[in-house]
Amino acid sequence: MTVVAPDREQSATSHSLTLHHPLRPVRRGERRWQVDGTPTDCAMLAIEALMPERPDFVLSGINHGGNMGEDVLYSGTVAAAMEGLSLGVPAIALSFAGGDLRADVTMLDALIEPLTALLRHLTALDVPTGTLLNVNIPPRTAGTVQGARLTRLGKRVYSNSLARMQDPWGRPIYWIGGGSAAWDGGPDSDFRAVQDGYISVTPLHLDLTHHAMLDAAHTWWREP
């Protein structure tokens, strides 16, 4: 296994690439690299430059904090898996939906055994080409992990997530984050599985085309 990771916190960087300055990979050990860039940069560098051969899989994470619902659009963890997929490598994104793994190493130690078994299973599946698996592991507060569920994305509704403040000179500034969030979705949604103590496995793909709308174009579309 080769590890290529950002050198700092990269939450909510989505699928951004570093285009305005060169990247400087720093070797931190055998097949271990630190990169002054985004998770997407790391996936690209690993596959195209740092590894002696193309990998069988891209495993992105494990992230501290869930990546469910619309969070997948912001997530650097999911984006790195998507970059692997776009470069032709099967990919899995992994997130721990509770607690800060950086602050409590014992939580990460407790995940090693179930994650190892899960990854053996997932990497043996005949996943359709062009699809990545987005995995969210429930927190300890959900109790013992009950198993894994195949899920669809839920919906997260944010409230009061933009705070207006003033800098020391009285000029307006804005802080994104905080507020509250409410989840919505059926029993087959990702957040519901995690809430019930199950590992959520959601298949995602890069094609954002609304195919049902295309199929129903005769009901709404006319040539300009």
Amino acid 142: pLDDT:
56
β pairing state of 162-166 and 172-176: antiparallel
Q: For residues 43 and 72, is the Cβ–Cβ distance under 8 A?
A: no
Give the per-residue pLDDT at 166.
95
Q: What is the pLDDT of residues 72-126, one digit of tens each?
A: 999 999 999 999 999 999 999 999 987 666 666 677 777 788 889 999 999 999 9
In this structure, the number of other CB atoms found within 10 A of the CB of residue 213 comes to 11
Report which of residues 34 and 176 the model is more confident about: 34
153/4 Cα distance (integer angstroms)? 28
Cα–Cα distance for residue pair 179/133, rounded to 1 Å: 29
Q: How far is residue 134 CA from its own chain's centroid? A: 7
Domain 3-154+185-219 has CATH 3.40.50.10420: no
- pLDDT exceeds 70 at position 183: yes
Q: Is the predicted pLDDT of residue 133 greater than 70, yes or no?
A: yes
Relative to beta strand 148-150, strand 199-205 is parallel
pLDDT higher than 80, residue 179 = no
Does the predicted model carry a pTM greater than 0.85? yes
State percent of the chain over pLDDT 90: 74
Report the percentage of the chain scoring pLDDT > 70: 95
Other beta carbons within 10 angstroms of residue 161's beta carbon come to: 12
